[in-house]
Structure 1
Amino acid sequence: MRGTHRTDSPAAPRELRRALPCRPADARRTVQRAVAECCRDCAVRCDDDALDDVLLVTSELTTNAILHGGGITGFDVDVDSGGVSVSVSDRSDEVPVVRAPVDERGRNRLGGRGWPIVCLLARDVNVAGLPRGGKRITAVVPLA
């Protein structure tokens, strides 16, 4: 069984529609609620450490969409026995890149650690361009 929470699709059934999260904390609450519902209703095993990983990935994806992507334009979370799939869309066509932690002068850079964290914690990461511009990043994090 699968739990799905879509926030950017007007065709989604009423019970699955959610307000588009405008802050990482809103997105984390949506993910936490979706995982709790699925673990309760779908008999999916939910590991607390894995949930922490999903919430961190959610924070990083939404923060990056706000800081570098012109804002969050879509957000979905799917939960099934394979894990949690978090998708965040934004206005930018730019694909995230890993930056060196130090600049050319050897000074530590601020930021730049979110994308490597997402890539480390997620089993699968997909970046797809959107037909009307922008991109959608989907990360799948195992629950066990």
Structure 2
Amino acid sequence: MERRPAGDVGTAPARPVPITSAAAARSYVRSLVAEGWRAPSDPASERAVMDLLLVVSELVTNAIRHGGGLAGFEVALLPDAVGLSVHDYSDAVPSAAYGPGTLPLVHEGSGYGWPLIIRLTREIHIERRREGGKTVSVLVPLA
């Protein structure tokens, strides 16, 4: 699984949207994919959309719970994937940020989200924001 900067993933412009919750982010992304990803004769599989929505939920929830709040959310529809960028207010990078996606052996109330993001995305890039905080950008395959 290759991990490279999200800026290298394609030419489709990301659309910043005012999102305040994981549910709002999921709803927005679902509508974008239903309306704009590929032709209606070649829709994304339900499994691919569910994986995408799980990643959306985890990224937004992590920003809210661990990142000091959601500072921004962007979506880019690409030929074979959806690019997501989530901005938060924390400089802290997730531990094992580019690890193998191994789930924790013991559940202690959290710890499953980041490994799931690693498993379900094709690329991850974490960048510190000039104004403070960070941006986590990922590509979620739909093909």
Q: What TM-score bracket applies, with the shorter chain setting the length? A: 0.7 to 0.9
Paired residue secondary structure (1:22): coil
| Corresponding residue number in structure 1 for 2:141 | 142
Cα distance 1:37–1:5, how it changes in 2: closer, same or farther (>3 A)? farther
Return the structure number with greater relative CO, CA threshold 8 A, min gap 6.
2
CA deviations 1:41-83 (Å, max 9, x no partner) are 6876412111111100000000000000011001001112120
> Quick check: 2:103–2:112 contact (8 Å CA) kept in 1?
no
Give the ranges of 4+ consecutive aligned residues of structure 1 lying more than 6 Å apart after TM superposition: none
Deviations 1:76-121, CA, capped at 9 Å, x for gaps: 011121200111100000001149835xxxx642211101000000
Choose 1 or 2 for highest CA Rg: 1
Aligned residue identity for 1:47:
S
Number of the residue aligned with 1:130: 129
Equivalent position amino acid for 1:109 in 2: E
Stretches of structure 1 that go unaligned for 5 or more consecutive residues are: 8-19
TM-score, normalised with respect to structure 2? 0.80
Q: Distance in 2 between matches of 1:36 and 1:57?
A: 17
Contact 1:87 1:139 in 2 (8 A): yes
State whether residues 67 and 88 of structure 2, in contact with CA within 8 Å, keep that contact through their aligned partners in structure 1: yes
**1:101 aligns to what SS in structure 2?**
coil
In structure 1, the residue matched to 2:16 is: 6
Please name the residue that 1:115 is paired with: 114
TM-score by length of 1: 0.79
State whether residues 27 and 62 of structure 1, in contact with CA within 8 Å, keep that contact through their aligned partners in structure 2.
yes
* Distance change >3 Å, CA 115–CA 25, structure 1 → 2: same
RMSD between superposed Cα atoms in Å: 2.4
Q: Describe how 1:11-26 pairs up with structure 2 within 5 A.
A: 20-26=18-24
